[in-house]
Each structure stands twice: as structure tokens, then as C-alpha cells.
């Protein structure tokens, strides 16, 4: 079953849920597009975010001439348990296709389905409110559970572990998100680290991230009564370091490295609905060995307050 067939089967249920919950939702607010930990949620309320992410990787210096395309539909659910505690669940549907040159010619290997589930808890440890503005500091802790398959095969045999839907391992994430919000603009800054463990004699390299998002209201420039919608301009930065992966206890010299992206975007915010999109542009890279370079990455998103 392909990614799009799965989406077609889920679409009726998602539409029904949206209709039933839409009318009771609290007002939506701007938030970061390329990372989820800054989503604003209040006690007893929830957020449903459905995104479509597309990425292409290439510039392979080896004779394999690898071209990797990844499409993902992360379904993100957030619930405000208390005024300070929010719980996140992220279930991604993923489609991966790898084109490469073999002795028999050009071939494609790929897989589609549900990838690993991520569960996060975010706690607002500090909050300072002033007229027209607020500042919040919230550490978060999470786990990535091995719900995706990690033993898929094709005509050439077992797929390489990085091409599998799931890692097969329990991985752990921690970090902190800081938010500064005013009536006109908002800044979110996130620092995080993901510790990956071993499964199937393979271990993905650990990952550290520094994410930044600035959202500014463009329309209307001045607030007034009865405004039905807002348009925000967004600029985000994603600095990502990944350690080398390990196979059978040995470092793979062609994996890992550091990349930095800038992501301009737009957000259309109504009372209960947010439509948004961003394109991540590679600014600089320092990759190890023959690691594939990201050529293009884009995100489209719909967010509903429940």
C-alpha cells in the first residue's frame, strides 16, 4: 500500500473529526512551521496539525549516483493536560524512494507506510506575562517508539536500514523551547538533542538541533474589531548536526555532518484554522564523506484548534 492509498483511506475519518470538533475550538495563534514543540495549547484544549513534507537528496559523488526522495505526512496531536503541561503525539506516514545505479542498470528501491511514533511531554517551567506580551520557557522530553517496520525487502533483498520505515530502536529526545510573544510578532527558539540507540546491528547517529522561528503579522497592520483572519510572514532557521551512523559497531564515514537551513514562509490564521507553508533553503553544509546533500525541502501544513 502506497502513502497516498493510506491517506485516501484515512481522509473520511479526518474530515468527520474536523467537522465535529471545529465549532468548539479556541482561537488559533501563529507558531513555528518546521518544528512542533512550540505549538500553543491551553488546558483542556487540543491541536491537530497535518503536514506534507517533501525532500530531495542527491549530489552523490559515488558511481551509484543515488537520488533519494522522501515524502512524509506527519499527523501531530497536542493536548493541554494542565496550564503548564502539554502532551504531543506525532505519527508520520512516510514514502521513501531511492534511485541508484547497479550492475544491472538503474533501479529504484522504496517503501511506504507508518513510521516510528514520537511521544513528547512539554512543561512550562517559567512564564512572565506583561500587558500585550508574554515570555515562556518550557523544557520537553520525549521518546520515539519503534512502530514502523524495520525488515522490509524488495527484489534485491533486505532494504538498507536507513531506507526502512522504522529504526527498530527506542530513541530519546530532550530539549527546551523559549517563546516571546507580543500582539504583533512572536519568536520561538528550540534547542534539542536526540539520542538514538542500536537495533538490527545498526545505530543512527545522534542529532542535535538549534531551531529558530520569527512570525510577524503582515495583514492587518493595525488591530481592530471584527478582523476575521490574519496573514503572518515567517522566517525560520534550522541548524542540524548529526553524528555518524554505526553498522556492526563501526562508524560509517559517509554519514552525518552539519547543515544549516533558512526557511521563509507564510501563515494564514483564522479563528480555528491555520494554513501555512515554508521552503527550507540550504545555506551551508559540512557533510562527512559521500553523505547525500539535501537539494530541496518544503512543508505545507493545516492546523486546527480542537
Amino acid 306: pLDDT: 87
Amino acid 128: pLDDT: 95
Q: The C-alpha cell of 89 is what? A: 503525539
Cα 100 to chain centroid, rounded: 27
Cut 0.85: pTM above it: yes
Question: Residue ranges per domain, the chain?
Answer: 3-305
Sequence-distant (≥ 6) Cβ neighbours of residue 195 within 8 angstroms: 171, 172, 173, 206
Write the pLDDT tens digit of every residue in 229-274.
999 999 999 999 999 999 999 999 999 999 999 999 999 999 899 9
Residue 126 CA to residue 138 CA, distance in Å, equals 7
Contact 53, 71 (CB under 8 A): yes
Domain 3-305 CATH superfamily = monomeric porin ompg (2.40.160.40)
Among 197, 230, 195, 200, CA closest to 215:
230
Residue 32 predicted with pLDDT over 50: yes
Q: Among the residues of the chain, which ranges form H helices? A: 3-22
Amino acid 80: pLDDT: 96
Residue 153 predicted with pLDDT over 80: yes
Question: Could you count the other beta carbons within 10 Å of the beta carbon of residue 131?
Answer: 6
Amino acid at each position: 500500500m502506497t502513502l497516498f492509498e493510506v491517506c485516501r483511506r484515512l481522509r473520511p475519518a479526518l474530515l468527520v473529526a474536523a467537522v465535529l470538533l471545529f465549532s468548539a475550538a479556541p482561537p488559533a495563534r501563529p507558531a513555528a512551521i518546521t518544528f512542533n514543540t512550540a505549538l500553543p495549547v491551553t488546558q483542556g484544549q487540543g491541536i491537530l496539525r497535518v503536514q506534507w513534507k517533501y525532500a530531495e537528496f542527491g549530489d552523490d559523488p559515488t558511481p551509484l549516483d543515488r537520488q533519494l526522495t522522501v515524502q512524509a505526512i506527519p499527523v501531530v496531536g497536542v493536548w493541554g493536560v494542565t496550564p503548564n503541561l502539554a502532551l504531543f503525539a506525532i505519527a508520520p506516514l512516510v514514502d521513501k524512494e531511492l534511485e541508484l545505479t547497479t550492475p544491472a542498470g538503474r533501479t529504484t528501491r522504496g517503501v511506504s507506510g507508518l513510521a516510528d511514533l514520537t511521544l513528547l511531554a512539554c512543561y512550562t517551567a517559567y512564564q512572565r506575562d506583561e500587558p500585550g506580551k508574554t515570555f515562556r520557557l518550557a523544557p520537553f522530553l520525549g521518546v520515539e517508539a519503534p512502530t514502523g517496520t524495520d525488515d522490509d525487502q524488495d527484489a534485491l533483498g533486505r532494504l538498507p536500514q536507513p531506507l526502512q520505515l522504522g529504526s527498530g530502536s527506542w530513541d530519546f529526545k530532550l530539549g527546551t523551547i523559549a517563546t516571546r510573544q507580543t500582539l504583533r510578532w512572536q519568536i520561538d527558539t528550540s534547542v534539542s538533542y536526540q539520542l538514538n540507540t542500536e537495533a538490527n546491528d545498526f545505530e543512527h547517529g545522534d542529532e542535535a538541533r538549534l531551531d529558530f522561528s520569527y512570525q510577524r503579522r503582515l495583514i492587518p497592520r493595525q488591530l481592530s474589531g471584527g478582523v476575521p483572519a490574519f496573514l503572518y510572514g515567517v522566517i525560520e532557521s534550522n541548524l542540524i548536526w548529526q553524528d555518524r551512523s554505526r553498522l556492526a559497531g563501526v562508524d560509517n564515514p559517509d554519514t552525518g555532518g552539519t547543515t544549516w537551513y533558512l526557511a521563509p514562509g507564510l501563515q494564514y490564521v483564522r479563528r480555528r484554522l491555520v494554513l501555512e507553508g515554508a521552503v527550507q533553503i540550504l545555506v551551508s553544509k559540512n557533510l562527512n564523506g559521500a553523505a547525500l546533500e539535501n537539494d530541496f525541502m518544503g512543508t505545507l501544513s493545516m492546523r486546527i484548534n480542537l
